[in-house]
């Protein structure tokens, strides 16, 4: 089975530039769509979502910035990288306003090699985002599997499993935004504690949506566990509105911290599947 080509949409009314970019990126192995106005560019996005958009700032109907605004208002198109081409020779003020949702800017005339570099970086960033947890932006999936795989057949590792107890109850009561904020802050605090302790060789990621795994060394795990536990347990009540903190401070109802540990002494792990199964079993054991 051949790998699906990455799709680029070029929204450009200058036919010479559009022809040149079409030919260049087709030769580079991309699938190229073209549109000559803002409206046809939006229609092309709706019909076949591109992986990236090269967007002229000055179009005959809608300007490129209005096209970008409309794209960012559509949840399905929100994450598509956009690279702007501008005729003015300078980066306009409006670009700086929109920049958090954009991925590059080139003033005309430009070198096509520079545009290619922006395109390559944008696609690489998209791939990295797909491998990151959407809330905490920590690694998940293949990067976690690769790091866990380095533990197989070795004795110099310890894995901490960290999860929030009653997160789904919290989500039901307060909604997705507050629950995601809690998970995001917990992930950041674990990471900051790990790095502050000199853990440049440690690894933090997600085994599943709400379960953190921290791979460290035997000489570090005890102090890491103590420091993480102390820091998080002092902070959990602040995720609640002030009026509800006392009400949800009863055991079994409030957000809580659960930390488990797996190490080579717990078994011989020769496959990634066996190690991951052991981690999940350990995290689900009755407290």
**Taking a C-beta distance cutoff of 8 angstroms, is the pair 38, 30 a contact?**
no
Question: Measuring CA to CA, which residue among 132, 161, 176, 274 is closest to residue 224?
Answer: 161
Residues in the chain, pLDDT under 50:
1-3, 93-101, 286-287
pLDDT at 77: 80
Instruction: Quote the mean pLDDT of the chain.
Output: 86
96 φ/ψ sector (left φ>0, alpha ψ -120 to 50, else beta): alpha
Question: Measuring CA to CA, which residue among 40, 100, 33 is closest to residue 67?
Answer: 40
Specify the DSSP class assigned to residue 13: S
Backbone angles phi, psi at 78, to 5 degrees: -60, -35
**Taking a C-beta distance cutoff of 8 angstroms, is the pair 14, 59 a contact?**
no
Question: Measuring CA to CA, which residue among 63, 237, 215 is closest to residue 149?
Answer: 215
Q: What is the per-residue burial (b if ≥16 Cβ within 10 Å, else e) of 155-175? A: eebbbbbbbbebbeebbeebe
**Taking a C-beta distance cutoff of 8 angstroms, is the pair 254, 241 a contact?**
no
Q: How far are the Cα atoms of 32, 127, 184 from residue 35, in angstroms, in the given order?
A: 10, 25, 39
pLDDT at 189: 94
pLDDT at 287: 43
DSSP string, 46-105: HHS--SEEEEES--SSS-HHHHHHHHHTSGGGTT--EEEEETTSS--HHHHHHGGG--EE
Question: Measuring CA to CA, which residue among 8, 15, 19 is closest to residue 80?
Answer: 8
Does the predicted TM-score (pTM) go above 0.85?
Answer: no
Cα 237 from Cα 255, distance rounded (Å): 8
| 142-149 and 272-284 helices, crossing angle to 10° | 100
DSSP string, 159-187: EEEEEEETHHHHHHHH-HHHHHHHHHHHH
pLDDT at 248: 63
Cα 240 from Cα 242, distance rounded (Å): 6
pLDDT at 69: 83
Backbone angles phi, psi at 106, to 5 degrees: -135, 135
pLDDT at 2: 39
Cα 221 from Cα 216, distance rounded (Å): 6
Sign of the CA dihedral 92, 96, 100, 105? positive
């Amino acid at each position: 089975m051949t790998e699906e080509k990455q799709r680029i949409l070029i929204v450009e009314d200058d036919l010479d530039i559009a022809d040149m970019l079409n030919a260049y990126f087709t030769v580079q192995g991309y699938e190229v769509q073209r549109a000559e106005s803002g409206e046809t560019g939006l229609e092309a996005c709706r019909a076949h979502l591109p992986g990236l958009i090269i967007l002229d700032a000055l179009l005959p109907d809608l300007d490129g910035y209005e096209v970008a605004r409309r794209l960012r208002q559509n949840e399905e198109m929100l994450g598509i990288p956009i690279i702007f081409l501008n005729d003015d020779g300078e980066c306009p003020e409006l670009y700086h306003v929109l920049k958090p949702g954009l991925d590059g800017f080139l003033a005309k005339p430009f070198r096509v090699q520079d545009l290619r570099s922006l395109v390559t970086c944008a696609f690489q960033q998209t791939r990295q985002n797909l491998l990151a947890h959407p809330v905490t932006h920590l690694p998940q999936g293949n990067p976690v599997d690769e790091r866990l795989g380095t533990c197989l057949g070795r004795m110099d590792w310890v894995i901490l499993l960290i999860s929030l107890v009653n997160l789904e109850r919290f989500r039901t009561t307060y909604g997705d935004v507050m629950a995601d904020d809690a998970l995001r802050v917990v992930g950041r605090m674990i990471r900051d504690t790990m790095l502050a302790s000199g853990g440049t060789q440690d690894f933090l990621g997600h085994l599943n949506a709400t379960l953190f795994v921290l791979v460290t060394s035997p000489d570090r795990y005890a102090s890491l566990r103590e420091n993480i536990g102390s820091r998080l347990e002092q902070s959990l009540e602040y995720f609640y509105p002030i009026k509800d903190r006392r009400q949800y401070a009863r055991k079994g109802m409030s957000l809580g911290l659960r930390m488990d540990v797996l190490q080579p002494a717990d078994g011989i792990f020769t496959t990634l599947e066996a190690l991951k199964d052991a981690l999940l079993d350990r995290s689900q054991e009755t407290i």
